[in-house]
Amino acid sequence: MVLLALVLALSSIQETSPARHVDARRLRETLEKLSEFGRNPEGGVTRLGFSEADLAARGYVSGLMRDAGLEVRVDPAGNLFGRRAGSENLSVLLFGSHIDSVLHGGNFDGNVGCMGAIEVMRTLRDGNVRTRRPLEVVIWSNEEGNHFGLGTLGSGVAAGALGPEILERRDDDGLSLADWLRRYGQDPARLLEARIPEGSLAGYLELHIEQGPDLDERGIPIGVVQGIVGLERWMCEVRGFANHAGTTPMDRRRDAIAAASRHVLSVRDVVRAEAGRQVGTVGSIRAEPGATNVIAGRAVFPVELRDLDGEKIKRMWGAIQEQFARTDREENVETRCDLLERVEGERADPLFQSVIREAAESMSLETLDLPSSAVQDAQMVARIAPMGMIFVPSRGGISHSPRELTSWEDIANGAEVLYRAVLLLDERLNREGRDP
């Protein structure tokens, strides 16, 4: 009777979700332990890249890698790798994320992908699974960039986007990045040896929390990332004429604040005019001279546009400039904008996207295709290798906050999808003829 009940219970679990290979409890334990490094009284962590808390956490993570039977090494940019040999002489399949946080960050951003990746390695070891290609876990250094103002630092160096010019950057304590690399046991003079030669990576997978509300709101457990959005940032200056606020008639004003305000609404209206997930933001306005009784003669504001499609960004910017020109004529002012920054969006590789979808389907988990609107290490790696990202839901879309939360069930599912995607890619990458 007991046996029958047990069989029934097991079969009902089987029905709702096929058995996971990864060990959900073990994964949770390591995430909880990791959250002790840099823990804040209000919850969450402050574990900036290149800090005591980060260094201690890396010690813990290296131990986990060694326990999982991985060969551990650190590159000169501070990226931490754990390698598992393959049965053939093929290029490496890499997966991981970051364990550094923002100031007063949460316990899940980056950490889920790192502990999930190590859990995948433990699961492969426990099951005596042999892969054809070597597998590596990576913990990228200083992804968030709150320290030194340089985000995706480790992956940026690895992908060739950053070089020795970053070494003399100093933090608020007057320490340089080179000083910190030495504290991490690295020789800054060898920084460029952290570059990953093109062709040596078969690809890169990253499991990450969504950091936005879509999956949570729709109750979908797995996001298949289509790519990481690109962005353009412009600084705009409106030149009017500063004059007496009492004696200047309304029809003779060249009011820089009034014109800038209309520009702000033009940005919003142009971005809203098309269907899609593009966003546009004016985050500040500074006006001069800045007195109650003087009409502003000058106003300065930034414009930021983001979308997966660089052409769409270009098109929106063109439409915004047309609107600015019309407003300038009506308000009798002049506006000019200078490009501050352009970051290219990066598409996830179609094979990687389909493999993630297939892995989720094999678990009877529903998926949603979506872009990442946040910066990711995968964006850097995409410059040198095909990449794919798996998203798991963020409760309420909250991230970079102690209130960041992803359920243990969603985390376990994400890690299982990563496990299955790694095995599918190990097989498919060969079949697709991607190796030399």
Residues making contact with Zn ion (CB under 5 A): 109-110
Cβ proximity to Zn ion, 49 vs 240, nearer residue: 49
Q: How far is the CB of 255 from Zn ion (least distance, A)?
A: 43
* Minimum distance, C-beta of residue 113 to Zn ion, in the bound complex (Å): 8
The count of residues in the chain is: 436
The contacts of residue 433 (CB under 8 Å, 6+ apart) are: none
Q: How far apart are CA 26 and CA 434, in angstroms?
A: 35
Cα separation of 419 and 127, whole Å? 12
Distance of closest approach, residue 376 Cβ to Zn ion, in angstroms: 7
Nearest residue to 301 via CA among 313, 312, 288: 288
Report the residue number, 114 or 196, with the smaller CB distance to Zn ion.
Answer: 114
Q: Which is nearer to Zn ion, 101 or 266 (CB)?
A: 101
Q: Which residues pair with 369 in a beta bridge?
A: 224
Least Cα distance to 327 among 261, 408, 277, 419 occurs for 261
* Closer CB to Zn ion, 44 or 110, in the complex: 110
CB of 143 to Zn ion, least distance (A): 6
How far, in Å, CA of 405 to CA of 411, rounded? 10
Is the Cβ of residue 139 or residue 285 nearer to Zn ion in the bound state? 139
d(CA 62, CA 81) in angstroms, rounded, equals: 9
Helices 408-431 and 111-126: crossing angle in degrees, nearest 10, is 60
- Smallest distance, Å, CB 132 to Zn ion? 30
CB of 429 to Zn ion, least distance (A): 25
Give me the amino acid identity at 306.
Answer: R
DSSP 8-state code for residue 120: H
Distance CA 106, CA 411 (A): 15
Nearer to Zn ion, 229 or 316 (CB): 229
